[in-house]
Amino acid sequence: MLFLNVPPTEAEGCILVHSLRAGGRVLKKGRVLAKSDVQHLADSGVATITVVRTGPDDIPEDEAASRIATALAGDGARVAAAYTGRSNLYAEFSGLVLFDTARIDTINAIDESITVATLPPFAPVHPGEMIATVKIIPYAAPSHAVETAATAAQRSIRVKPYKSKRVALISTFLEGQKPALLEKNRAALAARLSPLGGHIIFERRVPHETGVVTEALVEAAQEAPEVFFVFGASAIADRRDIIPAAIAAAGGEIRHFGMPVDPGNLLLLASLTGVPAIGLPSCARSPKTNGFDFVLQRIFADLPVTGPDVARMGVGGLLQEIPTRPHPREADHSGLRAPRIGAVVLAAGMSTRMGTNKLLQEWRSKSLLRWTVETALASEARPVVVVTGHEAPGTEAVLRGLDVVVVRNAAYRDGLSTSLKAGLSALPATVDGALILLGDMPEVSPSLLNRMIAAFSPADGRGICVAVHDGRRGNPVLWGRSLFDDMAGITGDTGAKHLLRLHEEQLCEIEADASVLRDVDTPDALARLRAAGVRAR
């Protein structure tokens, strides 16, 4: 890979190192310069530009990141499309994220061009939350380094899902203690169990005495719970205290007392009838994260929790804000998540140039509209909204069996803008952006849509993503939610393309093949589509 300062006419196929403005256009860094780009720069009077020219032993940054991320992804890890040399991995379901840390350390030591960053091991995650990212630092990586990293990866990032479990709860009380405390015990535990799939099937409230606690444990065992929890009226002070003594008397085994996590030090790890039995620290009544959560999450993910496992929880185990800190912080456990992008397929037009409903015309045994909608469904965009209008019943019939939201635009005769607004209004408030697709562009691929979603990042100045080919902007376009109000103000038979000029600072161009410039508006265009060879999707 070579860094060069060259005249634009010598830069075709090279990668632009620095963004520049010339002749009213902005070419952003990382762009692979097409023939039309270099000609534009030369015509605009640009004398020299800084570019990267890759060699035969270099793998482009997006391809390298994607290959390594795909090799890393194990069960429960989804790989997003790569953009700017970054490919993120996201959780497919709730659970704990697990890593082979030795393999990830190995990958990070292979070559300085390759990096892998992850959440901490055993971090709790939810669907769509980012768990790791692969970033290629330069514009390309050596092929031997990429191959070595992919071989070392061995699916070493995975998510262990939580499994529903039946739970027994025993709470103890001391004379004069308020009953509300016992209610708080149950409420606090139930709130923790709910997102993990836990259900309290047995509960007893007994005096804080070894004998009655033992009897309650024996009674609970008859219901075959998968976990026992004991909330003591007084904190456990020693493995010979009342609660551990009661577990032992019921036939259980004390495995570990105490943990290097604060709050959570006074947790008891035991077993009874072959299943976990946990003596809870008083901090388990608090909704804030504490050491009990570390153990609880592993139990519900069917991961072993031994004494040595607990002893290793000290690094990262200081969870409590300490008074000496001048500005106590509220913990943020929201996590990074994949952008929530919906798709709107515009299919309400009258096909005046075709002379018949173009969306119902067949290509490769399917209607043009069904091809487009299936492309949207094969991408990461959800939900997929289809706006119908002209000949709505026939148009909707070709969508039968597809998981889409159909919206009829009664005002379709008033132009494209009405369909755009109808589609946007049908998207849930939770989406961060919307891919707008035309129903008569069946050659657009799901991989392109996923690359556009991967590129979308308003915080990084990429709030609009538009597909381009050879310097020409086409469709689809991904619009961030911040632009929805502007789009709602459009009238007549126009789309939102003029907003690209008004918000150029947010614009990101995604290079694509010529399909993004081809719609099927006329009989001649349909004939050319049918005559062309079958394109890989």
Distance, in Å, from the CA atom of 529 to the CA atom of 442, rounded to the nearest integer, reads 10
Q: Omega before 124 cis (within 30°)?
A: no
Q: Give kind and range of the element (H or E) at residue 291.
A: helix 291-300
Distance, in Å, from the CA atom of 229 to the CA atom of 508, rounded to the nearest integer, reads 53
- Position 534 scores a pLDDT of 53
- Position 1 scores a pLDDT of 85
Q: DSSP label at 462?
A: B
Q: Name beta bridge partners: 262.
A: 318
Q: DSSP label at 81?
A: P
Sign of CA dihedral 62, 63, 68, 73: positive
Q: What b-and-e string marks burial along 71-80, b requiring 16 or more CB atoms within 10 Å of the CB?
A: bbbbebbbbb
3-state secondary structure of 63: helix
HSE-CB at 242 with a 13 A cutoff on CA atoms is 20
Q: Radius of gyration over alpha carbons of the chain, in Å?
A: 30
- Position 26 scores a pLDDT of 82
Distance, in Å, from the CA atom of 212 to the CA atom of 465, rounded to the nearest integer, reads 66
Contact predicate 204/237, CB 8 Å: no
The conformational region for residue 66 under phi > 0 = left, psi -120 to 50 = alpha, else beta, is: alpha
Contact predicate 230/236, CB 8 Å: no
- Position 494 scores a pLDDT of 77
Q: Name beta bridge partners: 367.
A: 362
Q: Name beta bridge partners: 26.
A: 21
> Token pair 């161009």 is at which residue?
509
pLDDT (tens digit, 0 to 9) for every residue of the chain, 537 residues total? 899 999 999 999 999 999 899 988 888 888 889 898 999 999 999 999 999 999 999 999 999 999 999 999 999 999 999 999 999 999 999 999 999 999 999 999 999 999 999 999 999 999 999 999 999 999 999 999 999 999 999 999 999 999 999 999 999 999 988 888 899 999 999 999 999 999 999 999 999 999 999 999 999 999 999 999 999 999 999 999 999 999 999 999 999 999 999 999 999 999 999 999 999 999 999 999 999 999 999 999 999 999 999 999 999 999 965 444 343 334 344 568 889 999 999 999 999 899 999 999 999 999 999 999 999 999 999 999 999 999 999 999 999 999 999 999 999 999 999 999 999 999 999 999 999 999 999 999 999 999 999 999 998 889 999 999 988 899 999 999 999 999 999 988 877 888 988 898 899 999 999 999 999 999 999 999 999 855 544
Contact predicate 167/229, CB 8 Å: yes
Distance, in Å, from the CA atom of 197 to the CA atom of 157, rounded to the nearest integer, reads 23
Q: DSSP label at 518?
A: -
Q: DSSP label at 366?
A: E
Instruction: Supply 210's token pair.
Output: 């070894």
Sheet with 198-207: strands ordered across: 198-207, 165-173, 227-231, 275-280, 268-272, 253-257
Distance, in Å, from the CA atom of 121 to the CA atom of 88, rounded to the nearest integer, reads 17
Instruction: Supply 100's token pair.
Output: 């082979």
- Position 329 scores a pLDDT of 38
- Position 113 scores a pLDDT of 97
Q: Show the beta-strand stretches assigned E in 294-394.
A: 341-347, 362-363, 366-367, 384-388
Q: Give kind and range of the element (H or E) at residue 378.
A: helix 368-378
Instruction: Phi first, then psi: give them for residue 219, nearest 5 degrees.
Output: -65, -45
Q: Which of 124, 68, 72, 119 is nearest to 94 (CA)?
A: 124
Q: Give kind and range of the element (H or E) at residue 231.
A: strand 227-231
Instruction: Supply 118's token pair.
Output: 């992850």
Instruction: Supply 533's token pair.
Output: 């060879």
Contact predicate 149/112, CB 8 Å: no
The conformational region for residue 23 under phi > 0 = left, psi -120 to 50 = alpha, else beta, is: left
- Position 333 scores a pLDDT of 42
Q: Which of 205, 209, 195, 202 is nearest to 272 (CA)?
A: 202
Q: Which of 359, 498, 348 is nearest to 416 (CA)?
A: 348
- Position 320 scores a pLDDT of 66
Domains of the chain in sequence order: 2-53 (3.90.105.10), 58-161 (3.90.1170.30), 165-311 (3.40.980.10), 341-531 (3.90.550.10)
- Position 257 scores a pLDDT of 97
pTM attached to this predicted model: 0.85
Q: Show the beta-strand stretches assigned E in 18-80.
A: 20-22, 25-27, 49-53, 58-60, 77-79
Contact predicate 66/81, CB 8 Å: yes
End-to-end CA distance of the chain: 31
Q: DSSP label at 228?
A: E
Q: Which of 131, 49, 66 is nearest to 92 (CA)?
A: 131
Contact predicate 77/98, CB 8 Å: no
